[in-house]
């Protein structure tokens, strides 16, 4: 009796095929990984740009309300959407009473409450620039938006952004 082995129908991958697939995945990850590492900095830069836009818009909205209500003196206040905003020469004040209450921070709708959903820290304020720093930045002082209230009649606030340390 002769026994012949039945041909086996093997299915699977060869070692060469597996190595080729691993190499392709390794090359793709080496090219894509650096892009994903920098996404945090890009996100913080975009957040700073959004805060800059909201501060500029809020400043102009408060200015318009102050002009309508004749509140363009050295000190005044206007109510915008039920929020009382302290003004300086018709523009929002750079108040930093721990929460920025009543000034440009409230006018722009930036959350600095206990929840701090916007993830910012305030520094300075008053006659000096109010600096809105983004938490989590490499260098918060250079990942920020600054707002300097007007110092005299017929001047405008100075609003700027720094993103070098995001």
The answer to whether residue 25 sits within a structural domain is: no
The answer to whether residue 49 sits within a structural domain is: yes
Say what the pLDDT of residue 138 is. Answer: 86
Instruction: Return phi, psi of residue 14, to 5°.
Output: -80, 165
The answer to whether residue 32 sits within a structural domain is: no
The answer to whether residue 77 sits within a structural domain is: yes
Write out the chain's pLDDT in tens, 166 residues. Answer: 556 666 666 677 788 889 999 999 988 888 877 777 778 888 899 999 999 999 999 999 999 999 999 888 888 889 888 888 989 999 999 886 545 457 898 889 888 777 777 788 888 888 889 999 998 888 888 999 999 999 998 899 999 999 998 8
Say what the pLDDT of residue 72 is. Answer: 87
Per-residue CA distances from 53 to 8, 19, 109, 121, 122 (Å): 70, 51, 12, 18, 17
The answer to whether residue 5 sits within a structural domain is: no
Q: Which of 165, 161, 164 has its CA nearest to residue 51? A: 161
Say what the pLDDT of residue 100 is. Answer: 47
Range of the domain at 56: 40-162
Say what the pLDDT of residue 41 is. Answer: 85
**Contact present, 90 and 71 (Cβ < 8 Å):** yes
Say what the pLDDT of residue 49 is. Answer: 95
The answer to whether residue 84 sits within a structural domain is: yes
The answer to whether residue 30 sits within a structural domain is: no
Say what the pLDDT of residue 8 is. Answer: 66
Domain count, the chain: 1
The answer to whether residue 29 sits within a structural domain is: no
């Amino acid at each position: 009796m002769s026994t012949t082995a039945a041909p086996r129908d093997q299915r699977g991958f060869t070692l060469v095929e597996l190595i080729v697939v691993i190499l392709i995945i390794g090359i793709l990850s080496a090219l894509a990984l650096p892009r994903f590492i920098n996404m945090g900095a890009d996100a913080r830069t975009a957040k700073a740009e959004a805060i800059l836009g909201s501060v500029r818009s809020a400043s102009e909205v408060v200015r318009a309300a102050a002009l309508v209500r004749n509140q363009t003196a050295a000190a005044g206040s206007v109510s915008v959407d039920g929020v009382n905003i302290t003004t300086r020469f018709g523009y929002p004040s750079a108040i930093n009473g721990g929460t920025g209450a009543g000034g440009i921070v409230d006018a722009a709708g930036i959350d600095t409450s206990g929840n701090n959903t916007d993830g910012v820290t305030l520094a300075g304020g008053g006659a000096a620039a109010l600096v809105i720093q983004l938490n989590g930045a490499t260098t918060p002082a250079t990942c920020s938006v600054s707002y300097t209230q007007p110092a005299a009649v017929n001047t405008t606030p100075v609003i700027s952004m720094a993103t070098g340390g995001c």
